[in-house]
């Protein structure tokens, strides 16, 4: 296989976490006395990390003040810590796909915008932690996806050149981060992507699930090399 490692997004790619995120948003908004958001709205707000999710929940005619946002973030963290993993489910095809990738001998990692205080606990709770050689969370590096730094950081730890790493996610943030890092980017169609369908023209392959991603990777040929 051309690839020596594979990195995965978490929310919307490996795990359907929207019910927990929506519940934490509901509890946070109730606590601070702000208007509620529907699960569909929260679904659209996910993608650029915790602070952006909270800010989007609070933004109506105008964005919240810095003080309001900071208070809301503290509240959200407390509530999300209590519900993290409670209603989360593993997407179909994920376990079969991870097993196939693991059996191939490739090194594996998670690169997510979720804060570290929630990421590793969630992976442990869902029984996925042992699949991965590295976990890069939203606060591991100075930048989050779509910046390439989190994926580049994972590649350094894995000891793999970025052009030999495949990144799999559900959103334009994953695709842009991977391409900026010099990686191939595969996308699954069932995730969040801030409420928009993934455009197959933006990624190197649109795959139905992680097992399909593995089979697609087996056929990859680097056309830049003669």
Specify whether the backbone of 39 is left (phi greater than 0), alpha (psi in -120 to 50) or beta. Answer: alpha
What is the enclosing helix (H) or strand (E) of 185? Answer: strand 184-187
Report the share of the chain in percent with pLDDT over 70. Answer: 98
Torsion sign (Cα): 156, 167, 143, 107:
negative
Catalytic residues: 9
Structure confidence at residue 224 as a pLDDT band (50, 70, 90):
low
- In whole angstroms, give the CA distance from residue 193 to residue 13: 10
In angstroms, the CA 170 to CA 21 distance is 17
- For residue 7, CA distances in Å to 4, 34, 210 come to 10, 37, 11
Q: Residue 226 pLDDT > 50, yes or no?
A: no
Mean pLDDT across the stretch 23-50?
Answer: 92
Q: In this model, does residue 220 exceed pLDDT 90?
A: no
Q: Which domains does the chain have, with CATH numbers?
A: 5-16+89-218 (3.40.50.1000), 18-83 (1.10.150.240)
Backbone torsions φ then ψ of 123, nearest 5 degrees = -60, -40
pTM value? 0.91
Task: Place 190 in a pLDDT band, splitting at 50, 70 and 90.
Answer: very high
In this structure, how many other beta carbons lie within 10 angstroms of the beta carbon of residue 60? 9
Q: What is the DSSP letter of 11?
A: B
3-state SS assignment for residue 32: helix
């Amino acid at each position: 296989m051309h690839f020596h490692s594979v990195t995965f997004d978490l929310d919307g790619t490996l795990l359907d976490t929207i019910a927990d995120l929506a519940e934490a948003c509901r509890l946070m908004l109730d606590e601070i006395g702000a208007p509620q958001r529907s699960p569909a709205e929260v679904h659209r707000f996910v993608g650029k990390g915790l602070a952006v999710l909270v800010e989007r929940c609070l933004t109506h005619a105008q964005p919240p003040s810095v003080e309001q946002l900071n208070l809301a973030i503290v509240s959200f963290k407390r509530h999300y810590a209590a519900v993290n993993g409670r209603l989360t489910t593993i997407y179909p095809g994920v376990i079969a796909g991870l097993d196939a990738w693991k059996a191939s001998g490739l090194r594996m990692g998670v690169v997510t915008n979720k804060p570290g205080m929630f990421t590793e606990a969630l992976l442990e709770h869902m029984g996925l932690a042992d699949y991965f050689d590295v976990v890069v969370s939203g606060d591991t590096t100075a930048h989050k996806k779509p910046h390439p730094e989190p994926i580049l950081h994972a590649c350094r730890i894995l000891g793999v050149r970025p052009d030999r790493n495949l990144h799999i996610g559900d959103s334009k943030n994953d695709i842009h981060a991977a391409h900026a890092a010099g990686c191939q980017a595969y996308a699954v169609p069932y995730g969040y992507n801030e409420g928009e369908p993934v455009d197959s023209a933006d990624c190197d392959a649109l795959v139905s699930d992680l097992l399909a991603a593995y089979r697609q990777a087996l056929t990859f040929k680097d056309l830049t090399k003669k």
